[in-house]
A and B are shown apart, each in its own frame.
Chain A
C-alpha cells in the first residue's frame, strides 16, 4: 500500500479512464485484481453482444452451429461475470483501499461477513450483483434446456443476452466497480494512490439480514427476466401450443418465491433496524419491490386460465411483459434516486439509461405483440359469473388495481411535476385506503376461488363447499366482537382468515378421505399422498394459508401501543401487561463502534421475565449513530424497545417502548409461503400414469390438471379432461 502520497483524494469516476486505469498497476505493491475484473466485465459484454448477433443469425439462417455458439457465448457471460465478482470480493477481503469502491464501502475493522456483503453496499456493486444473478439465471436456463425446445431456445437466448447487454453496458461504462484511486503528486502528475483505511460500511447495513436481503430481492427482480424471455421468445417464434406457458409458470414461481422472501426480509430489516416500530411505510423503494410481486402473483393465477381453458392469452403475455418492466422500473427507482426514499442513492444520471431501456423493452414487446396478435386468440369465452374463471378474472382485476394504485402513488411526485409543475407526494393514508379493501377482497377470493368449479358452479355445490367454513368465520367474528374487538378491517380480516383456513382444511380433508377410503390408509398419510399427487394445487393451498397468517399479522396493527419515557436507574415504565425496570446504563466499545446500552428487566404481571439490552452505537469510521432495538418476540405480541438517546434537558436516558401484537405471524407466514411454493414446484408423484403424447412428456414439466389426483371428487371436473 502506498501511504506516502500527499493530496490523496477520491477522483470522480468520470475522470478516470476506465479500463486503462489498470495500466499503471505495475506501480503498486500487493495484488490488485481490478484489471482482471475490468477485462472480465468487458469480455462478458462482448460475449453477450456476440450471443445476440450469432443467435439472430442462427435463427435467420437456421444453422445449428451458429445457434450453438450463441448459446455457448451466453454460458460464457456467466463465467466472466463470476470472475469479475470474485475479483471485487477478493479486493474487499484483502482490504485493497486503492480501489475506489472498496475504500468507499469497507474498512479494516469490518467483520468479515460484512466485507462479503459490502459488495452490494453501493451503486456499482449492486448493479454488478444484478448482472451476476441475471447471468446465473441465464446460465441455468440455457444449460437445463440445452437439448430441449430447439425452436424456442434460440429466441430465449437472444432475449436473455439482450437484457444482459444492457446491464453489462452499465457495469462497463456507467458505473464501473473497478475504478481505482488516484491523486496528483507535487509535480502535478497523476499517480495511483490508496487510503490507509476505508470509509466503512454504512452502519444501517451492518445487520445480518442485510447480508441476504439484497441478494434475495435481486434474485426476484432478475428472475422475472427468464419468464419474460420465454414469453417474448414464444411470441416472436410463434411457438405452437401452450408449452411455453408451463416453463414460464415454473420460472415465475422461482422468481416470485425469491421476491416474496426479499420483500419480507426487507420488512423485517426495517422493523428490527430502523427503530420506528413498524415494518412497512409505503416508501418508494418498498413499493418498487411490491409492484412486480403483485403482477407476478396475478400471472401465476391467470396462467391457469390459459392452461385449462385457453383463455386470457393476450392478458398473460402482457402480465409477463409488465412484470419484467416493473422489475426494471424498480431497479430504476432504487438506483437513480428520482423518488426520495430512505434507500435512495446519490443522484446520478443512471436513471436516463434505465428510462431508455424501459422504452426499448416496451417498443420491442408492443411490436412483437402487434405483429403476432393473431397467435394469441382465445379459445373460450366466459360461461358464468359464479365460476373459477370469473374468480380469476376478479383476482386479476383487483391485483392490477392494487398494482396501479401503488405505482400511481409512488410515481405521483414525478408525474405531478411533469403535468402541473408542482411536486406533490402522497402518504400512507392513500395507499392504505385503497389497498386494505383490495387485500381483504383478495383474501375472500383466496377462500372462494379454489372451491368454485370451472365454467359454472351450481348453488348446491356452493352450499356444500362453503356452509361450514362460512359458519366458522362468522362464529370467530362474533367471539371477537364479544371480547371487545372493534376495528372493522381487523375484524373482517379475522373472519375471512378463519373462513379461508377452514376451506383449505376441508379441501385437504375431503381429498384425503377419498384416498383413505380407497387405499385403506389412515387420514394423515392420505394427506401426504394427496399432496404429493398434485403438488401444484396443494402447494398452492399452503401458500394461501401462509398468506392468511401474514394477513392476520398485519391485522394486529390497529392494536399497537407505544410509550416514551425518561428513565433513571430504578424507574419503571408500564406498557400492556409488562412493566420495565431500568437496572443500569453502561458503555461498551470495540474497534468498530462505541455503544451506550441500557439494561432493562422486564416483568410480566409482576413476575420477572427477561432482560433486554437496547443500544445506541456510534460507528467510529463513519461517525454515524445507530439504534439497536431490543425485541422480545412471542406469537401474541412483540415487546420492542428503543434506546432513544439522552434527554436534552437533564441528560436522562429516554426509552421508547412499543407493544406490537401478532407481528411474528407475518414472518412465520412468510416461511409457510416459501414452503408452499417449494412444494408446488415439486414434481407430481405418478406422473408416469398421465396419458399424454410422448412428445409432450419430454418436457419434463408435468401438467397437473391431467394428473388430477382425486377424480372421485366429481363435482369439480376439469372442463377439458
Chain B
C-alpha cells in the first residue's frame, strides 16, 4: 500500500493547492446581485461589495460626460444613477430603454460606479412564450435579476 499512500499524499497536495487558489480567486471576483430597491437597505460591509444591478435605461437619461457615461437605471419605479467609468466602448445594444446589467460598486452618495455594462435590447426575436407561467424556479425569487435575453 506504500505506492497508494504516496499517490494519496500527492493528490492531496494538488487538491489543497487548487482549493486555496480557488478560494483566492473567489474572494477577488465574487459579485453580488442586487435589485435597485435592495440597494437602499444595504448597510455595513455589504455596501462595499462588488455587485451587479440590472434595470432598464431610462429614456433620455444617457449623457456623455468627460471620463465616462452617466445614465439612470430604473426597475419597478426605483431609480439608480450610474456612472460608467470603464475603458471599453459601451455595447451596441446599449441605448434608451434597453435592459442593462451594470457591475461595479456603490459610492457613498448612492451613485453606482460601473466598470462593466452589458446591455440587451428589448425583446425582438423571441415572442417569450409562457413568460407569466412556469418560468424556471431558480431565477425567479425576489432578489433575482430577471433577465429576459433575446440575443442569440
Q: How many Å lie between the Cα of A338 and that of B11 in the bound state?
A: 34
Q: Is the CB of B87 within 8 A of A337?
A: no
Q: How many Å lie between the Cα of A74 and that of B93 in the bound state?
A: 45
Q: Is the CB of A105 within 8 A of B125?
A: yes
Q: Is the CB of A649 within 8 A of B28?
A: no
Q: How many Å lie between the Cα of A625 and that of B93 in the bound state?
A: 7
Q: Chain A, 375-407, contact with B by CB distance < 8 Å: what is the 0/1 string?
A: 000000111110000100110011001000100
Q: Is the CB of B135 within 8 A of A349?
A: yes
| Residue A530 CB within 8 A of the other chain | no
Q: Is the CB of B151 within 8 A of A342?
A: yes
Q: Which of B90-135 contact A (CB under 8 A)?
A: 92-93, 101, 118, 121, 123-131, 133-135
Q: Is the CB of A423 within 8 A of B144?
A: yes
Query: What distance in Å separates the Cβ of B36 from its nearest Cβ neighbour in chain A?
Result: 15
| Residue B22 CB within 8 A of the other chain | yes
- How many residues of chain B get a CB closer than 8 Å to chain A's CBs? 59
Known: A345-B126, A401-B14, A423-B144. A340 touches B149 (CB 8 A): yes
Q: Is the CB of B3 within 8 A of A349?
A: no
Query: What distance in Å separates the Cβ of A346 from its nearest Cβ neighbour in chain B?
Result: 4
Q: How many Å lie between the Cα of A343 and that of B149 in the bound state?
A: 8
Q: Is the CB of A432 within 8 A of B89?
A: no
Closest to B146 in A: A347
| Residue A122 CB within 8 A of the other chain | yes
Q: Which of A105, A199, A204, A347 contacts B136 (CB 8 A)?
A: A347
Which residues of B sit under 8 angstroms from A204, Cβ to Cβ? Answer: 151-152
Q: How many Å lie between the Cα of A382 and that of B133 in the bound state?
A: 55
Q: Chain A, 605-631, contact with B by CB distance < 8 Å: what is the 0/1 string?
A: 000000000001000001111110000
Known: A276-B88, A624-B93. A433 touches B22 (CB 8 A): yes
| Residue B143 CB within 8 A of the other chain | yes
Which residues of A sit under 8 angstroms from B33, Cβ to Cβ? Answer: 413, 422-425
Q: Is the CB of A104 within 8 A of B127?
A: yes
Q: Is the CB of B30 within 8 A of A434?
A: no
Closest to A431 in B: B25
Which residues of B sit under 8 angstroms from A414, Cβ to Cβ? Answer: 138-139
Q: Is the CB of B129 within 8 A of A348?
A: yes
Which residues of A sit under 8 angstroms from B124, Cβ to Cβ? Answer: 199, 622-624
Q: Which of A13, A338, A401, A441 contacts B127 (CB 8 A)?
A: A13
Q: Is the CB of B152 within 8 A of A393?
A: no
Q: How many Å lie between the Cα of A390 and that of B138 in the bound state?
A: 41
Q: Is the CB of A199 within 8 A of B125?
A: yes
Query: What distance in Å separates the Cβ of A482 from its nearest Cβ neighbour in chain B?
Result: 30
| Residue B21 CB within 8 A of the other chain | yes
Q: Is the CB of B89 within 8 A of A645?
A: yes
Which residues of B sit under 8 angstroms from A408, Cβ to Cβ? Answer: 22
Chain A interface size, under 10 / 10 to 19 / 20 to 34 / 35 or more: 35 or more
Q: How many Å lie between the Cα of A68 and that of B144 in the bound state?
A: 52
Query: What distance in Å separates the Cβ of A641 from its nearest Cβ neighbour in chain B?
Result: 13
Closest to B4 in A: A382
Which residues of B sit under 8 angstroms from A385, Cβ to Cβ? Answer: 3, 6-7, 10
| Residue A352 CB within 8 A of the other chain | yes
Q: Is the CB of A430 within 8 A of B144?
A: no
Q: Is the CB of A428 within 8 A of B18?
A: no
Q: Is the CB of A347 within 8 A of B131?
A: yes
Which residues of A sit under 8 angstroms from B3, Cβ to Cβ? Answer: 382-385, 390
Which residues of A sit under 8 angstroms from B30, Cβ to Cβ? Answer: 424-426, 430
Query: What distance in Å separates the Cβ of B122 from its nearest Cβ neighbour in chain A?
Result: 10
| Residue A421 CB within 8 A of the other chain | yes
Q: Chain A, 417-454, contact with B by CB distance < 8 Å: what is the 0/1 string?
A: 11001111111111111100110010000000000000
Q: Which of A340, A348, A382, A430 contacts B130 (CB 8 A)?
A: A348
| Residue B48 CB within 8 A of the other chain | no
| Residue B40 CB within 8 A of the other chain | no
Q: Which of A104, A347, A422, A642 contacts B147 (CB 8 A)?
A: A347
Q: Is the CB of B6 within 8 A of A644?
A: no
Query: What distance in Å separates the Cβ of B48 from its nearest Cβ neighbour in chain A?
Result: 15
| Residue A205 CB within 8 A of the other chain | yes
Q: Is the CB of B149 within 8 A of A336?
A: no
Known: A385-B10, A390-B7. A344 touches B130 (CB 8 A): no
Which residues of B sit under 8 angstroms from A394, Cβ to Cβ? Answer: 10-11, 14
Q: Which of A92-126 contact B (CB under 8 A)?
A: 100, 104-105, 121-123
| Residue A654 CB within 8 A of the other chain | yes
Q: Which of B1-34 contact A (CB under 8 A)?
A: 3-4, 6-7, 10-11, 14-15, 17-18, 21-22, 24-26, 28-33
Known: A338-B138, A340-B147, A343-B151. A434 touches B125 (CB 8 A): no
Q: How many Å lie between the Cα of A418 and that of B88 in the bound state?
A: 34
Q: How many Å lie between the Cα of A616 and that of B89 in the bound state?
A: 13
Known: A352-B137, A423-B144, A437-B18. A346 touches B52 (CB 8 A): no
Query: What distance in Å separates the Cβ of A107 from its nearest Cβ neighbour in chain B?
Result: 11
Known: A394-B10, A624-B93. A122 touches B126 (CB 8 A): yes
Q: Chain A, 198-226, contact with B by CB distance < 8 Å: what is the 0/1 string?
A: 01001011000000000000000000000
Q: Is the CB of B64 within 8 A of A649?
A: yes
| Residue B150 CB within 8 A of the other chain | yes
| Residue A372 CB within 8 A of the other chain | no
Closest to A398 in B: B14
Query: What distance in Å separates the Cβ of A449 from its nearest Cβ neighbour in chain B?
Result: 15
Q: Is the CB of A434 within 8 A of B25?
A: yes
| Residue B148 CB within 8 A of the other chain | yes
Which residues of A sit under 8 angstroms from B131, Cβ to Cβ? Answer: 346-347
| Residue B76 CB within 8 A of the other chain | no
Known: A385-B7, A417-B144, A564-B89. A427 touches B31 (CB 8 A): yes
| Residue A310 CB within 8 A of the other chain | no
Q: Is the CB of A397 within 8 A of B11?
A: yes
Q: Is the CB of B52 within 8 A of A401?
A: no
Q: Is the CB of B129 within 8 A of A429?
A: no
Query: What distance in Å separates the Cβ of B84 from its nearest Cβ neighbour in chain A?
Result: 12
| Residue A656 CB within 8 A of the other chain | yes
Q: Chain A, 536-573, contact with B by CB distance < 8 Å: what is the 0/1 string?
A: 00000000000000000000000000001000000000
Which residues of A sit under 8 angstroms from B43, Cβ to Cβ? Answer: none
Known: A10-B127, A347-B147. A424 touches B21 (CB 8 A): no
| Residue A351 CB within 8 A of the other chain | yes
Which residues of A sit under 8 angstroms from B45, Cβ to Cβ? Answer: none
Q: How many Å lie between the Cα of A321 and that of B29 in the bound state?
A: 32
Which residues of A sit under 8 angstroms from B152, Cβ to Cβ? Answer: 121, 202, 204-205, 342-345
Which residues of A sit under 8 angstroms from B123, Cβ to Cβ? Answer: 346
Closest to A174 in B: B130
Which residues of A sit under 8 angstroms from B92, Cβ to Cβ? Answer: 616, 624-627, 645
Q: Which of B14, B25, B149 contacts A429 (CB 8 A)?
A: B25
Which residues of B sit under 8 angstroms from A627, Cβ to Cβ? Answer: 92
| Residue A590 CB within 8 A of the other chain | no
Q: Is the CB of B135 within 8 A of A347?
A: yes
Q: Is the CB of A428 within 8 A of B136?
A: no
What are 7 A-B pairs with beta-carbon distances under 8 A?
A12-B129, A14-B129, A349-B135, A382-B7, A384-B3, A394-B10, A418-B138
Q: Top 4 closest A-B pairs, CB basis?
A: A433-B25, A648-B64, A430-B25, A427-B29
Q: Which residues from chain A sit less than 8 Å from chain B, CB to CB?
A: 10, 12-14, 100, 104-105, 121-123, 199, 202, 204-205, 276, 336-338, 340-349, 351-352, 381-385, 390, 393-394, 397-398, 401, 405, 408, 413-414, 417-418, 421-434, 437-438, 441, 564, 616, 622-627, 642, 644-645, 648-649, 654, 656
Apart from A276-B88, A348-B128, A434-B22, list 12 A-B contacts with CB within 8 A. Answer: A14-B133, A104-B127, A202-B152, A204-B151, A342-B118, A347-B148, A348-B129, A352-B137, A390-B7, A398-B18, A627-B92, A648-B64
Q: Which residues from chain B sit less than 8 Å from chain A, CB to CB?
A: 3-4, 6-7, 10-11, 14-15, 17-18, 21-22, 24-26, 28-33, 52, 64, 69, 87-89, 92-93, 101, 118, 121, 123-131, 133-139, 141, 143-152
